[in-house]
Structure 1
Amino acid sequence: MQIFESIKSIQAFLSVKKQQGCSIGFVPTMGALHQGHLTLIERAKTDNDVVVCSIYVNPTQFNNTFDLEKYPRNVDRDKILLENAECDVLFYPSDEIMYPEGKDDSMKLDFGALDKVLEGEFRPGHFSGVGLILSKFFHIVSADSVYFGQKDLQQCSIVQKLIDTLFFDIQLVVVPTVREKSGLAMSSRNARLSNEGKEVAANLYETLMKVREMLQNGEDLNKAKQTGINSIKKYKEIQLEYLEVVDRKSFTQATGNTSKKEIAICVAAFIEGVRLIDNVLVFS
């Protein structure tokens, strides 16, 4: 695996690969890699000749300083995992490389209504930071395809809007969420949970599946949603931020007129001070 820390060095390497006719798949991460990330690498390897993974904890997408400081980091372990997964390239830049102007002076992006609901509402500025760092990465890597997990469903819509609006010549590939045996969606933040916390967190997925079954059986949207909220509130260890049944394109509240194929159930909650998100599609 080739490791690059500067923009010029990785661009020079990838330029040769492109001249050789190689297709490039890109998996952007913030490190603390787990099986979910490795599944993205595996899919990218299936689709492309060269796979690039980035590890960069992007400060502009954190609206909570404590969350940024506590975000798990273990790049030495990550490098071993990427080597074992036969990733071709690791891009591991510093803040000085990605934000030479300083992160506080960086430009802001507005995704309209899409970043004002759910994650956008509870994490103001988050998607602006995501869009900004991805724009930089897309220019640097110039990949053919970029890979994200369905766990970050709203982010996937943000990425697609970024691609469409700024005419990036890259295809978004969304890969199904990888889960623990308990159903808990794999996340780098899970490393901050105790074993007991992980057991409690598994109830988020269990609740999503309960609401999903109700909707599949024709239950009223609001009744199904309230049943899910009540189920989660039974656990004093869970501080629910939101549970919503939404249109998966706009992420606004679903209605009776919403196409069945476009309904998603999304949840965000704190457990042991760790913020977790998850979602399921109702008719997938």
Structure 2
Amino acid sequence: MSIKNRTIFCRYQKMLESIYPAEEAKEMVYRLAEHFLGIARPQLLLLLDQAEDVELSRYIEVSAQRLLQHEPLQHVIGEVEFYGCRIKVNPKVLIPRPETEEMVDTIIKDWRGKNPRIIDFGTGSGCIPISLAKALPHSAVRSVDISGEALEIARENALLNGVDVDFVQADMRAYSDSGSYDIIVSNPPYVMDSEKEQMRDNVLRHEPHLALFVDDGNPLEFYIPIAEFASRSLAAEGAVYLEINQQLGKQTSELFAAKGMNAEVRQDMFGVDRFVVVRWK
């Protein structure tokens, strides 16, 4: 009697349950299988009671060993879907989060059908500028990052998704240009060093600290220059969209209020203060 795929999946799920919750372990196995086979969940479910796919089993076994070393699933697979875009990721860039996708959705709803001039600070994988360029096809998008390695994968992702983004290697803290922008967007580093102990091992070991952490003594290090840039370069009817540290909504808003702007703190899908949206008064 042949072994079925369902039995194999259960075996690797149990293996992963040594460090992951049961439902998360199950989801990891299914995601690995979907990626390897290039099919969606409904098609995968139809294969559960078929005889073992040996090549698939080997792939899941090797991948599970990497997951047991706390390597993120997105790195094992090598990509993630973000707002309908296929985004490649590696340890040089931050893995896109659902909250960032939520911010992008807000921007697209605000600007659909328009042709905004957009600048993004902190490119990373390119998920923000690429998804905006794809959903707002008449926009002009520029994206700035200090990391040449991050820009390399961002350019690859732009090509993969068939969009045109002007990537610029520069330190956002010192960046300046003569342009006027309708949208200024950023998900800059905002996790304070003292919060590291609250983060999972797979984040601390495998994602770039440069894109995550700021010194407790200067937690708004990246927001201060964005506020200064916006005071010079935000168009009259434009808006600034920022992801923020949930503890610093008031302080972030005050940076823009001091520049004569209205800043609104908004919550994410989990009810946490996560965004600031800024417009001229």
Normalised to the residue count of structure 1, the TM-score between the two structures is 0.31
Greater Rg over alpha carbons, structure: 2
Provide TM-score, normalisation by structure 2: 0.31
